[in-house]
């Protein structure tokens, strides 16, 4: 597995990371807890060193799973987790309760995440979403304190705009920005990507496979369980799935030229954009993990990239991303 550095931070990770959310949260789990632990061990054996979780996934259960699985391997891996949602007593944090990035909350979450992840320091600590009630300078300052205390190694943001990134970076250097980015979701190219490049910040795209749509395995007859987030997603109505088929057709055409799959082309496209981009597709099955990892070895040509850009400019993607 190739390695990449997240911007100028010095944080080196596998060129492809692994999103762990859906191992315990988001829809019906695939496999038992022990099978997920064995899957995470296999991912490390295959060369994956970058794992993404958050306290809100579950809540707490995802950090606990990742912590248990990777504790014996922590000198080989980088674990990213997130803070930023209000807690409601024993129910834990939830986006439904609102956002909370007050410094005292950030520090409390860090202490709890350290315990669940079974580590002495959090490798990468993201603000999960901007908090309109807390100045970003206060957020960055709180993480700076945690870094100075040895509890956190690197500071990250998620879904922040360019101005916010700049303000945060002025207080505590931002190692990585996590944002949605894929062949069918590219608004961050206008201002956010140039800002990351200028400041030396790595980009970690989540949903790089369009929540599974870009694999080509979903059609208008696909049904989703009630607890699957796609069941309520505007891009996964029957009408949108059918209307957006042109994107998959494009990926399949490029894939045929490279003896690859649509998913591999979607990931290879992201990897080709910048050398400091590290996608984190979620996976719970070994054959999917191996398929995704194959994207690292695909080199799209300048003609491929130009053809994809031209074709996507003619395609109107139907449905909001949330």
Which position has the token pair 């999103």? 19
Q: What are phi and psi of 282, to 5 degrees?
A: -85, 145
Strands 78-83 and 152-158: unpaired
Please tell me the distance from the alpha carbon of residue 262 to that of residue 123, in angstroms, as a whole number.
32
Q: CA angle 322-66-78, nearest 5°?
A: 90
Task: Please tell me the total number of residues recorded for the chain in this structure.
Answer: 322
How many distinct helices (H) and strands (E) make up the chain? 11, 9
Q: What are phi and psi of 127, to 5 degrees?
A: -75, 120
Q: CA angle 196-19-43, nearest 5°?
A: 115
- Mark whether 126 is an active-site residue: no
Q: Of 57, 126, 206, 213, which residue is the catalytic one? A: 57
Give the residue numbers marked as catalytic: 57
């Amino acid at each position: 597995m190739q390695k990449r550095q997240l911007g100028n931070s010095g944080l080196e990770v596998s060129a492809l990371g692994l999103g762990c959310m859906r191992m315990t949260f988001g829809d019906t789990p695939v496999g038992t807890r022990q099978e997920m632990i064995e899957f995470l061990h296999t991912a490390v054996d295959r060369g994956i060193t970058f794992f993404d979780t958050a306290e809100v996934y579950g809540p707490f259960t995802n950090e606990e799973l990742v912590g248990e699985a990777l504790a014996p391997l922590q000198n080989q891996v980088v674990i990213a987790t997130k803070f930023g949602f209000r807690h409601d007593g024993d129910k834990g944090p939830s986006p439904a309760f609102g956002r909370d990035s007050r410094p005292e909350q950030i520090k409390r979450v860090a202490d709890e995440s350290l315990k669940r992840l079974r580590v002495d320091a959090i490798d990468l600590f993201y603000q999960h979403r901007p908090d309109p009630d807390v100045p970003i300078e206060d957020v960055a300052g709180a993480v700076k304190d945690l870094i100075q205390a040895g509890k956190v190694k690197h500071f990250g943001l998620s879904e922040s705009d360019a101005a916010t990134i700049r303000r945060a970076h002025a207080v505590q250097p931002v190692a990585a920005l996590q944002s949605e980015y894929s062949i069918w979701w590219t608004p961050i190219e206008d201002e956010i990507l140039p800002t990351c490049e200028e400041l030396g910040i790595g980009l970690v795209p989540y949903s790089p496979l369009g929540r599974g749509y870009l694999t080509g395995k979903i059609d208008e007859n696909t049904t989703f369980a009630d607890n699957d987030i796609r069941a309520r997603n505007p891009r996964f109505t029957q009408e949108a799935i059918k209307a957006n088929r042109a994107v998959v057709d494009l990926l399949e055409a490029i894939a045929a030229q490279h003896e690859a799959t649509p998913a591999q082309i979607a990931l290879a496209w992201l990897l080709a954009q910048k050398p400091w981009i590290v996608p984190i597709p979620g996976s719970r099955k070994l054959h999917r993990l191996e398929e995704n990892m194959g994207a690292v070895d695909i080199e799209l040509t300048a003609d491929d990239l130009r053809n994809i850009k031209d074709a996507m400019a003619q395609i109107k993607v139907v449905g909001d991303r949330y």
